[in-house]
Chains A and B, each alone.
Chain A
Amino acid sequence: MSTRLEAKMEALRQAGRKALFIYITAGATGLEETIEAVRGAEAAGADVIELGLPFSDPMADGPVIQASSVSALKHGMTTAKEIELVKKLRTFTDIPLIGMGYINTMLHYGFEKYAQDFQAAGLDGFIVPDVPHEESADMRAACEKAGLHYAEFITPGTTEKRMEKTCEKATGFIYCVSNNGVTGVKKIDYSVIGKVCEKAKKLTKTPLAVGFGIGSPEAAVAAAEHADAVICGSAVVSRLLEGKKDEAFALIHSMREALDAAYGKE
């Protein structure tokens, strides 16, 4: 039996298409707004939604996602409300939903209960950006027990020895960080992470998703070359924060079109 995420990735692979992951911060401008953003993103061509779970000290994030986290917390977001949000999303969509959150909120809630409650609500997996492979055992075990994916990371600096360890445990997808630094739109030479992706492909069949820095259709196409998916966050979040929903959806749509034009829609 395959999960929602595996089924989606496999269908795209067979069609020769690249997956588009869109990051949306839960509750950044209120819960109802987030629901509309997910609905709009899917309609514009997103294949997977990465749901940002706000934390007070998001160490791996750049200014835009930081601002969206502050805004979400000001709007009163809590773990309980995030779980409610997932339940509400599941009333109208089957799009794979991956939560991206920081370890302290998970630890505080209790890893097992956290994974179980989100799974029961309809989430498909987690990304925990402040946890390297070495510290991931407890949360990964909780995810496995609950039937959720737990994303591993590789970066331009990841050694092959390290990659063997991370790829061995990976399910769902591997998050390939395109550059040294934090989230946020910037000009990046995607051939660097492309080479790392090629190495990873020899070790694993788990889909590779490249993220960090992607803010335009051109960047999405470049980032996707050696990967199965691209992740776009800050460029969408900044537009949503400014209340420019239509611009955000137009950007997603243009990325979708560019990816399909470059890599073929059957």
Chain B
Amino acid sequence: MKKGRFGAYGGQYVPEIVMPALEELEAAYAKYKEDPDFQKEFNYYLNEYAGRPTRLYYAEQLTKHYGRAKIYLKREDLLHTGAHKINNALGQALLAKRMGKKRIVAETGAGQHGVASATVAALFGMECHVFMGALDVERQKLNVFRMKLLGAKVIPVSSGTGTLKDATSEAIRYWATNIEDTHYIIGSAVGPHPYPTIVRDFQKVIGEEIRSQMAEKGLGKPDYLLACVGGGSNAIGTFYEFRNDKDVKKIGIEAGGRGSAPVDNAKTLSGSGEPGVLHGAYSYLLQDDDGQVIEAYSISAGLDYPGVGPEHSYFKDEGIVQYDSVTDAEALAAFQRLSETEGIIPALESSHALAYLEKLMPETKPEETVVVCLSGRGDKDVAMVAKTLGEEIE
């Protein structure tokens, strides 16, 4: 395999200006990856600050609802800031600190990764700039204010289509302009090498914990692993540990949105995506006949990305992970179902993985186990869901 590639996918499609910074990051990561002091510090913050390990919770009521395999939820939603994003943000901020960087730049869609980045920047005393689509700034006022409270500067991006992909391009442009003292914390397992590898390594603790927690419960390996896929960071974190376990069926769930036309969903791997280059990596991509990138759509602001992490493209082609999708309506139903059966309000992103249970559970047997990565909590989505359901809230 070529350097920085997962099969044919990945690479470093960035302006020459950015190359010295990627080389610096690659060298620093190679060094600290093997450094016991770095790993010790990372684990300290993961455990003491973020709240790891997260529970592997037996969802008894949901299991009863389906009457088939036992369902377990990997509770990433219980982490500080409310999602798995903090795992990566902590790791990268510690890396940035050791590289002597004074400033963090990040992109964000709904604001979860922006909040995680602002949080770690506050913790480690670094300056933080978060680029966010102008439309998203308007829609996610609460998260914008959270970031401000944490001391970050939120910069609305109105170029292009004013959404996550444009915020990502703008974060890269800012990074290119301030490369000497700035580290870019990319929010998902996407971007140029070495980002997809770094993000995966900082998220793979999810799958490692699932394996050991299953063993502690005397359950052996799970039969099924489910995780939602936007850029794919919680999914790669869940699946990576089990990549060689053929007896563990791994399914990544994309956003089926409101229809089958490419502009109506974010089915990069499970729909009409074709390999292409966006934000530094060669990977499956939603694009038109002329190679122009198509704006993806989902009810979930964390899943409406037209690209996907390159390792997922590799996993798809190799048949290591299967990719499927559920619609907005199915995700919304799952959001309500988990709230009502288990008393847990899931993020709309995670609700996509939960919605797939409708399709999967009838095929399962009572002696089997299904683990769903509950990547985030749903508080941030309550207003959006209320609006969709036609409820008036303030």
Binding site for B on A (CB under 8 A): 55-60, 62-63, 66-67, 70, 73, 78-79, 102-109, 129-135, 153-155, 157-159, 162, 177, 180-182
Contact = CB atoms under 8 A, between A and B. Distances in A.
B36 interface: no
Contact of A181 (B12, B165, B173): B173
Contact of B14 (A59, A67, A180, A182): A59
B291 A157 contact: no
A134 B274 CA distance: 23
B16 A107 contact: no
A70 B292 CA distance: 11
Task: Give the residue among A56, A62, A104, A107 with the most B Cβ atoms within 10 A.
Answer: A56
B13 interface: yes
B12 A132 contact: yes
Interface stretch (B174-182, B204-212, B325-333, B359-367): B174-182
B276 interface: yes
Nearest to A166: B16
Nearest to B4: A134
A57 B293 contact: yes
A62 B176 CA distance: 11
Interface in B153-192: 159-160, 165-166, 169, 172-173, 176-180
B114 to A, nearest CB: 20
Contacts of B11: 135
A73 B18 CA distance: 27
A152 to B, nearest CB: 8
Contacts of B80: none
**Top 6 A-B pairs, shortest CB-CB distance:** A108-B291, A181-B177, A153-B16, A105-B291, A157-B20, A60-B15
6 contacts: A67-B159, A73-B292, A107-B277, A132-B14, A135-B13, A182-B177
B19 A132 contact: yes
A57 B177 contact: no
Contact of B160 (A56, A132, A180): A56
A159 B20 CA distance: 8
B263 to A, nearest CB: 13
Interface in B253-301: 274, 276-280, 285, 287, 290-293
Nearest to B180: A180
B219 interface: no
B317 to A, nearest CB: 17
B17 interface: yes
A134 B11 CA distance: 9
A249 B378 CA distance: 56
Given A59-B169, A180-B177, A135 B12 contact: yes
B14 A130 contact: yes
A155 B16 contact: yes
Contacts of A59: 14-15, 169, 172-173, 279-280
B160 A130 contact: no
B287 A104 contact: yes
Contacts of A57: 160, 165-166, 169, 278-279, 293
Interface of B: 11-20, 159-160, 165-166, 169, 172-173, 176-180, 274, 276-280, 285, 287, 290-293
B19 A66 contact: no
A104 B293 CA distance: 9
Contacts of B19: 132, 134, 157-158, 162
Contacts of A55: 291-292
Given A59-B172, A59-B173, A104-B277, A157 B292 contact: no
A107 B177 contact: no
A100 to B, nearest CB: 12
Given A104-B276, A132-B15, 18 more contacts: A55-B292, A57-B169, A58-B169, A67-B159, A70-B159, A78-B290, A103-B13, A104-B285, A106-B291, A108-B290, A132-B16, A132-B18, A134-B19, A180-B17, A180-B178, A180-B179, A181-B17, A181-B176
A170 to B, nearest CB: 13
Nearest to A73: B292
B105 to A, nearest CB: 13
Contacts of A105: 290-292
A158 B290 contact: no
Contact of B292 (A56, A106, A159): A56
Contacts of A132: 12-16, 18-19
Contacts of A103: 13, 277
B277 A130 contact: yes
Given A57-B165, A59-B172, A108 B15 contact: no
A55 B292 CA distance: 6
A177 B17 contact: yes
Given A130-B277, A134-B12, A70 B160 contact: yes
A69 to B, nearest CB: 8
Contacts of B12: 132, 134-135
A129 B165 CA distance: 18
A104 B274 CA distance: 11
A105 B172 CA distance: 20
Contacts of B20: 157-159
Contacts of B166: 57
A129 B291 CA distance: 16
B67 to A, nearest CB: 47
B291 A66 contact: no
A56 B160 CA distance: 7
Contact of A155 (B17, B178, B290): B17
Nearest to B173: A182
Contacts of A70: 159-160
A132 B11 CA distance: 10
Contacts of A104: 276-278, 285, 287, 291, 293
A185 to B, nearest CB: 14
B276 A130 contact: no
Most A CB contacts (10 A, CB to CB) among B159, B166, B178, B293 go to B159
Nearest to B293: A56
A62 B16 CA distance: 16
A130 B15 contact: yes
